[in-house]
Structure 1
Amino acid sequence: MAGRAIPSWAAGDQSPAPFALRPVHGALAAFVLTLPAYTPTLSYFSEAPQASALSDAFLFALLLGALLVAVLMTVRGLQTSPQVRGDGILSRVAVAAYVVGIALFLVLLFQGQPVPLLAILAGFVAGAALPMLVTTWARMVAVPMDRALLLCGFVGVVVSFLGWVLSLLPVHLLAPVYGVLVLAGVVPLWVGARAPGIDAGSPEAAPRGALRNLLSVTWLPLLGLAVFAFMTTVMAHSAFGVVRATFLSGVLAAVVVFGVCFLWGRKPLLPWCYRVLVPLLGAVFVVLGAFPAGTFPREVSVVALYLFYLVLAMLGCALFLAVVHARELSARVALGFGVGVVALAALVGCILSQVLQVTADFSPWLTVLTGAFIAVLLVFLGRTAWDELGELQEARAAAAVAEVVPERTPLADSILVDLPVRVPLEARCAALAERFGLSPREAEILGYLARGFSPTYIAKDLVLSVSTVRTHVRNIYRKLGIGKREELIHLVDEE
């Protein structure tokens, strides 16, 4: 986001920019649909001659390869500057490795005799390429939060519908169709290699505590995405015995996401989802799951469970796209960390269900896991409410002091004046930022401070952690040579 004006997704008083579908978004849907780590994908080939002998070994190796490379990407990204020239070559190597690994696995599925070692090799090669492919895709389609959420909804609809269609195809027809979709999902990565200059605004090396700041913003949807990956690995549910719950819930999750973006959501979008949408979906699952087994509401609770985690997964994916778009952190670090967490969760599920075989039915454990997740969510919401209560008290104290001073408050400026008066305020902030050499991000936050917004609000609006915003505020005060908000307002008014 460096070097650009406040985007529409960050400004609470503006309408979201329109979202335009492009052919590359269809290719992205094909990539997600054919991901082997998406467990329903492997189930498509359950009738292949060697599916039962090779699928588990291939999936285990793929997840292990993805985890190891994701960790390596994250560590190197935190220690070194983002690679610009070498990323194009690396992306093409990853595309080639991924296609070779998938193609080899498809061939092995239809051989007369199982070859587990080659299946493991194919899985590891394809999995090792996945973090780089996901990172390249994120660079190509990164957009602000509201448009990213719409994109995730579109991908969810396409993947759910086409996934259901693929599940109906006979296995001899499925293999070539799947191969074509795999190629369609990686061709844009080969042609485009990388989005030019996408990391140009990132720091030469990740700032200290960058990973902690990323986690403080993304932990809730990332945890939901990880639980969803674990859940789809350990078992598959059907909805009313007709269709996979992932397919039906995927369409419903997309409908919910579209409703959030167009009808119900409030700015800033992410906090509204945390406080209203996610708790509401969790409550629906808890209520429906309380009905006796065999009843219709209990059957619906399976769909509600997948809906809960799929909405969280879409929020997580959209949030990572917004983080990449904001350029606060290298795409390698952000996506390497995200892919690593999800791969680890899926790998744990694979070990528990296929290697250790701890139980034949994970349904009760998934209910307990969901209950624990909702409990964590409630604790998070309670802590957030407590922190905001403290900030409200501080704001009241500041207002009481401001009443003694016969001058305007920035909050009054933001509420009472119309647009023609706001423009000079923005111009004064821009001139002040240029005169004192503020960075683009610091200049952006200065505009928020001049209107009286708190660090917590700024963090939520810009999808940053509160600690990151406060670090920027300290740097702004240091460069301006001031020590408190009143001095900042005085500087802005004098400009």
Structure 2
Amino acid sequence: MSDSPEAGSRQASAPGAPPSASSAVSFVSFCLTAPLLLPLLDSITAAAWPLVDTLEGFPPEAVAFANPLVLAALFVALAVLFASLVGGRPLRLGRRVELAAAGLYAAGYCAVAVCSSFPFSVPLMVLSAAGGALGAGGALLALHWISVVAPEGFKEAFRAVLAAAALTLVSSVVARAVPAHLVFPVYAALAAVSALAFAHSLRAQEPIEQPSAEGGDWWAVFGGLDVSFLDEAEDIQTPRARGLFFIVAPLVMIALFAADRLLLARMPFLLSPVVIGGIIALLCALLLLRVKRDRMLLNFSFRFFVPLVAFASFAAAAFVPESVERLVLMVGGFAFLTAYALSMTAMLLTMSGRMRSLSVPVAGLLVVVACLIDQIAFVRFPFAEATDVNYLLFLSLFVAAAVLLIITPGSRLWHVLLDGIDERSDAAVAHRSYLDRCEAVAAAFELTPREAEVLVLLGRGHTSAFVAERLVISESTARSHRKNIYRKLEVGSREQLFELLDRFDQAE
């Protein structure tokens, strides 16, 4: 690999370069038709195959379409994660694979469109094959777009997530409004446009080098995720805090979704409560874009915005007639879950953007979660009747999830947010103190000016890949600087480097 600045800039800027017109068209068309997101999958399934009997749930045709689609997407995402683990470094999808995925995606939609337009019954095997092709192609395209769009700033990631969610929700509403026999022909046309624009955009792109093995140990991603945009909020970096934030909280949210979905089994709706809740959460989330700083936005989204949606749901249920109280809380539950999903997705997207070598595995993780949610949505529970016991279970999980977000990952982020106006100056003082310590270390151990720049980034926990992108150098050069710094400082790991920096008080 060349170590020239031009080569480093090309490598670094490729994932985040301004999109071409064809790339933008392809991305928008994909968001409008992506069947992996539940609101759209729910809408196109219900619109194309109207419920024969709401007491029995979806008819066999709908299940034969949705289940193979979700399972195929889940298999592809898990295969990418497994291949990354076995290979010792994450995969980067090749152009041939991406072109094949675009073709498979369009072909799957076209096949389902043909099946849904037949006046006679279509064999379930044919419908399943079409759904499987659509799911596999959609999963690969989702991996591509998530890894390419991922920015380094939380606000940029949050804005991208809101844009994608808005497109999906608008498309979900349209799918409910379009006549049933036109649903899949319309979406097949959009998928074909997306595939053609995607193929055209790939021709204009320069080849992107494979990520090196260094920094590719994605198995340890949740032990070393780049959370430096939280600055001095160190409480999220403890093992217990990470376990609560990245494992316990998502599991509680999934359980809450299953309980909320369970209550819907016997309640037919013109517009899905999932879509209604998503629209409410999205409109509220748009107000967060007025927050300017990344750390403040992240803290506010998890500490106030998501719990506030839960509180508003309970408050609204208290002022409506008893006949619709449960419906209001169910819609509020989906709004709460959507608000949480928007914030968590933006956070993972930010980490993916700051650690490019892990972008595809992180994208695969997001696809796996989306597929699990879809699969839960189409499970036929034998106890699906909306009994009081199920309702109490839903309420208990709702309250537990809201409280869990308030108390995790710890108290320090809460205090940072409550500092209010003083936070800006406190953060500046802390940042200055850190830079002074790095200067003291660089002077004491005679580091070169370039090594001093690298030390500032390494001390924040950044990987060599991130250092290369930030300083516009090649990754091999960044690794060389890191080795020289470790040798001069006589440390052998990041933990020892952190300890050394902590021992150096602010330079006098």
TM-score between the two structures when normalised by the length of structure 2: 0.67
> What residue is the counterpart of 1:320 in the other structure?
348
The separation in 2 between residues aligned to 1:433 and 1:475, in whole angstroms, is 19
2:388 and 2:211 map into 1 onto residues whose CA distance is: 46
Q: Residues of 1 paired with 2:309 and 2:427: CA distance?
A: 38
CA contact (8 A) 1:79 1:205 kept: no
Aligned CA distance change for structure 1 residues 142 and 171 (closer, same or farther; 3 Å)? same
Deviation at 1:60, TM superposition (A): 1.0
Q: Give the 3 Å change call, closer, same or farther, for CA 95–208 of structure 1 in structure 2.
A: closer
Matched-pair contact (CA < 8 Å) for 2:258–2:377 = yes
Report SS of the residue matched to 2:504: helix
Name the CA distance, whole Å, in 2 between partners of 1:183 and 1:437. 49
Match of 1:148 in 2: 157
Which residue in 1 is equivalent to 2:132?
A: 124
The answer to whether the Cα contact below 8 Å between 1:33 and 1:41 also exists between their aligned partners in 2 is no
1:415 equivalenced with 2:414 (yes/no): no
Letter in 2 for 1:98: Y
Q: 2:114, 2:261 → 1: CA distance? A: 23
Residues 6-62 of structure 1: per-residue CA shift (max 9 Å, x gap): xxxxxxxxxxxxx9997755643432332334312212213599x944211111111
Q: Partner residue of 2:393?
A: 368
Q: Match for residue 30 of structure 1?
A: 29
Q: How many residues align?
A: 425
Match of residue 54 from structure 1: 61
Q: Relative to 1, partners in 2 of residues 1:435 and 1:283: Cα closer, same or farther, differing over 3 Å?
A: same
Is residue 339 of structure 1 aligned with residue 367 of structure 2?
yes
Report the residue type matching 1:486 in the other structure.
R
**1:209 and 2:220 matched:** yes
User: Residue in 2 aligned with 1:65?
Assistant: 72
Residues 464-490 of structure 1: CA deviation (Å, up to 9, x unaligned)? xxxxxxxxx98356459x646233645
Query: Is 1:94 aligned to 2:101, yes or no?
Result: yes
Q: 1:33 to 1:235 in 2, by over 3 A?
A: farther
How far did 1:138 drift?
0.9
Q: How many Å separate the matches in 1 of 2:427 and 2:415?
A: 24
Do the aligned residues in 2 keep the contact of 1:149 with 1:315 (CA within 8 Å)? yes
Distance 2:317 2:20 in 1: 37
2:48 is paired with a residue whose SS is coil
The whole-number CA distance in structure 1 between the counterparts of 2:20 and 2:199 is 20
Q: In structure 1, what residue type is equivalent to 2:123?
A: V
Question: How far apart in 2 are the matches of 1:488 and 1:295?
Answer: 64
Q: Does residue 1:171 correspond to 2:180, yes or no?
A: yes
Opposite residue 172 of structure 1, the aligned amino acid is H
How far apart, in 2, do the equivalents of 1:320 and 1:205 lie? 16
- SS at the partner of 2:122? coil
Q: Is the 8 A contact 1:78 1:333 kept in 2?
A: no
Q: Quick one: distance in 2 between partners of 1:256 and 1:21?
A: 30
Q: Distance in 2 between matches of 1:26 and 1:428?
A: 51
Deviations 1:260-281 (A, max 9, x none): 1215987343233222122221
The aligned counterpart of 1:382 is 407
**Separation in structure 1 between the aligned mates of residue 45 and residue 450 of structure 2, nearest angstrom:** 55
Residues 357-401 of structure 1 show CA distances to partners (whole Å, capped at 9, x for unaligned) of 44244897476246325415524643544678999xxxxxxxxxx
> TM-score scaled to structure 1, two decimals?
0.69
**Are 1:157 and 1:254, in contact at CA under 8 Å, matched by a contact in 2?**
yes
- In structure 2, do the counterparts of structure 1 residues 40 and 109 end up closer, same or farther at CA, with 3 Å as the change threshold? same
Specify the SS of the correspondent of 1:114.
coil
Q: Distance in 1 between matches of 2:251 and 2:82?
A: 20
**Bigger RCO of structures 1 and 2 (CA < 8 A, at least 6 apart):** 2
Write the distance in 1 (CA, Å) between the matches of 2:439 and 2:334. Answer: 48
Instruction: Give the drift of 1:147.
Output: 1.1
Q: Does 1:486 align with 2:495?
A: no
Q: Which runs of 5+ in 1 are unaligned?
A: 5-18, 392-410, 450-472
Partner of 2:308: 280
Aligned residues: CA RMSD: 4.7
Distance apart, 1:117 and its partner CA: 0.8
One-letter amino acid of the counterpart of residue 105, structure 1: V
% same residue? 15
Contact 1:282–1:308 (CA under 8 A) maintained in structure 2: yes
Counterparts in 2 of 1:484 and 1:60: CA distance versus 1, 3 Å: same
Distance 1:185 1:383 in 2: 40
CA contact under 8 A between 1:77 and 1:333: conserved in structure 2?
Answer: yes
2:48 maps to 1:45: yes
